[in-house]
Structure 1
Amino acid sequence: MRQLQSVDNHSFKTFAYAASLYLKTRDKYSFNFEANNDSIHKYLPKIQENNKNYSMLFDIHILLGNTYKRRGQMKAALDNYLKAENYALIINDVERIVKIKGNVALVYQGIRQLDNALNQIITTYKIVENNKVRLGKKYNSRKFQTLLNTSAIYNSLLQDNNKNLQYGDSSIHCLNKILSDKDLKLSKFKYGQVYRNLATAYSLKKEYAQAEPFFQKSIEYFSEINAQADLYNAFYNTGVNYLEMNNLHKSKDAFQEVLRIKQDTLLDPNYVNAHKYLSEIYVQQNNKDSASYYFTKHQKILEQATKEQQLEYEKIFSADETYQLKKKIDSLEKVNSENKNMIIVSLILLIAIIVTSTIIIYKNVKEKRNAKSRLRQLLDIPKEIEKETNNQKLVIKDEHHAEVIEGLIKIEKKLFFLKEEFNLYTTAKKIGTNTTYLSKIIREHKKMTFSEYSNDLKIKYIVEKLKTDKTVRAYTTQAIGEIGGYKNAKSFTRIFKKYTGITPFQFIDKIETELEKLN
């Protein structure tokens, strides 16, 4: 790929940079992501869109989509996947169409747009079934992957709406289709995936006894091929399932396996929760020492996670649950007559912790209030722009005048201003007026030209995204600009600063600084 980066052909050069970016991201290399990404954006626009290059453009965008997905930047991943899908459709390459639609469905699932994910994967399955001959040897692998992904999306739908058990039944139906199809010739890893999804479906339906043997089968297959990451998740879910069945002994064994498998230092919710569950199990078994050990370990991990900002804390930590668990552990101490001295020491320490914690909490609350105030001031930057617009007195002159005003409101609500074809001519045509009349109305009611109006809408939209979406705040200036339809990073930065008074990265830095203080 390094050699390919030095050739004169823009297609090969861009592909080489995209492939290198993906490989380094996948294998967790330490490298300058921005520099690599800038090289891609430098050469990608130079590739002519024609029959000769469509396949290469597909490969470039699917590599970029895979890269962004692994980096957790789902919006950028989806944008690249959709571009890749467009090229696949142009050249009518069924294999590529099926591949990219599957990826698009998984991204929709990752950002919890599950209806979109389901529609996409159902369409993918229809394409697979209607193109068995064209897919040839790849038909079986594509059919398997599509059915497996469909079951996973149904499981996610059931997770979000646990009353609609039909989602679970649909997931099970997809998986049984796989198991009953002798032509698929599943590997041990694929069997493990199927049984894991079956177990998950039954567990989400709260049919825990039905789920248990499928969890065990998935563990057997993943163990045979030493698939550690899948084994780690399988043991965790098995532990939760046994806990729901009130089988404390087997649940404890499963969570112990989770901690045994965990070797890396990266924290995740399963690892954190395994300690909490073990503490709860030992409380129910009246084992004070082990309950205290895992409770303390759980608290230390949370402190570490807070410092490193590696977890979504609200998903794994509840102050009320922790307080209740602490109370249960304390009650075990009180009934243990052999440890009266330890009880006194523990109470003193607890009081000291409470007093210290109260002081720290008071300081944190005070600092958070100050930080919230500073953050509010920062996030109100675009409000001055809005005040100027909102304070204009709206005077409707005639019926057509009213239709044009209503048309502008619809364009703003439907985010038409983000589309590439958004300009004075297309906007006037869409509303049903001419460019001269539209310009006049915008000057009267918005006190700005159409160009200023366009930038006003786009910058407001981008500012809102930066305020509410931490993923967007991790984008490059180029990528942030593209959200609002700006193709040139320098031009976007200049316009952003004109409207807000600061550059995009200065805006992001201030938001992140204040949010860190709030955490």
Structure 2
Amino acid sequence: MLPIKNILNTSILLLCLYFATPATQAYSKDNTGALYNKAKAEFNKNEYNSSLSAFLKYIQAQEQMKSHDTIRLTDAYYNVGGIYSLYSDYAQALEIYKKGYSLSVDAGNSEMQFKFLNNMVGASCEIGDINYAEYTNNKIRQLKGINRGKIAYFYCFNKGFIAGNRKDDSTKALWMKKVLNIVDKYKLPEEMKIYAYSEIYQCYENKGNLTEALVYLHKYDSLAHVTNHAFLYVDCYKGLMRIYTKMGDKERALHYQSEYFRYADSLLNLNEFSKIKTNYQTNEKKRTTNTINNLERTNSQQQAMLLMLVMIVVIAVLAVVVVYRQRQKLHTANVELFRRNSELLEAERRYRMSMERKEHKTTSDGAEEHDDKAATATGHDDLLQKILLVMEDEETFCNPYFNLQTLARMTESNTNYVSQTINSTFGKNFRSFVNEYRIKVAMKRMMDNEHYGNYSIQGISESVGYKSASNFIAAFKKMTGMTPSLYQKISKSSI
């Protein structure tokens, strides 16, 4: 004898069979279609264990795919929930129904939402969550696009079922009789009365009215043969066996007991069901574990990346601070260099003015004496004075065509003697000698923002006689220790 609970003390199985979606032949290229078709075929043959196994494999395969066949997947959830209910595993059935309901909501499938909500009411009652059952039943009335007769039928049926779970058989019987009237009023299929019959007879049985209970049981039995579902026979024969036993009719009680066990043994293989359920739960646990491991691995990688990012940011900030300080030091050094160069220019200017005043005084006080000395001056000193006199004229040496030949001609000498005089006196060649004069003029002009503030480096270099800006920049940096652009920038910022 199998320890089977009254499997139809709920609407779940009845609704599941009523709403079952017919299997179709064609399917997509993936092999999950074969699993679905097998599951439906086994289900329709009342082979619930093999059907459950195929449905669960189909669900697992679909859940791992990026895109789902929503229609078939919701139907699979629906049928799996029904089979779990068949074995009185209502908690698992409810979880499956919730998954299917969520999927049908996302797909905008109100028909499937209607089916899931009805079975969620029954499963909730079976696990004692009456409040959730009421909440779910009220959602049924809010659905759009569903036949009003169906909504009225199942709403009333669920209200009666909820009342029964509250041990209020009188209210339950009233709701179930309303269900019978709704079938006639809305001209619903006659076999839908079977759901109400399966509940009404229990109300009378609980009240001790066995005769009236037997009337509804036979109506139940009659429609069970019309629908030809094995689990209906199991529930109906169990009820008949129980009623006839209470009435003392042993012969009929034994007959229905025999029929009950015949169908129950073929219908419910609890050991096989347990294996299928355990296998599914193991696979679900593995998948959950893999998901958790992936999340932990991703989390570790993200933490490592975050740490690396923080380190990069810290290094970058330190680098910015170091560069900033170095630039500050460099800027300070450049400003100091600029100041010294400016002071040298100013000192040279004052020295030259002092020498001019001294020379003028000497000339005024002793012209005759000077003339005597000049007459005895060496040719070297005479040439040097001529060279310096020429180099006092900026326009002359800032001419791009000014060269050694030009200077020799203007001093009435030759290039060799001029070059030797410059080298022996200043320790440099003609090119360096002229560059020094030109760079000093460039420095003065870059400090003269009023007249040369808008000049570019190219313009400044050309104004002091350079044909090539690169040559000017090299000569300027060699003499001052900084580039002309930096010198010009500091000059402007110091005003």
* TM-score bracket, shorter-length normalisation: 0.3 to 0.5
Give the TM-score of the pair, scaled to structure 2.
0.43
Give the TM-score of the pair, scaled to structure 1.
0.41
